[in-house]
Amino acid sequence: MKTFPLIISSPDGDLFRGEAEMLILRGTEGDLAIMAGHVPFVTAVVRSNCVVITDTEERKEGVIESGLLTVDAEKTTVLTSALTWNK
């Protein structure tokens, strides 16, 4: 599966930086699944479950707080107040 560069950052630093196959979280308009080649857009993120499927098909899950999601042709960036990964 194709991958895309994903950066998830908080005020404390990067929480994820790497290649991803998919990002799943919730925006103000509902659930989102971002994959390589997604149309560029910007939306607010609300508190929700967050799933990152990495380029090695590892599934990382956690709870993300409010923030901002930016998708463009080069990368996908999430700026959030906090993200707690499940163990």
Domain CATH number, residue 18: 2.60.15.10
d(CA 83, CA 18) in angstroms, rounded, equals 16
> What's the total number of domains in the chain?
1
d(CA 5, CA 74) in angstroms, rounded, equals 7
Residues 30-86 have pLDDT tens digits of 999 999 999 999 999 999 999 999 999 999 999 999 999 999 999 999 999 999 999
Q: What angle do CA 1, 13, 28 make, to 5 degrees?
A: 65
List the domain range (segments joined by +) for residue 59. 4-85
Which pLDDT value is given to residue 1?
86
The model's pTM is 0.94
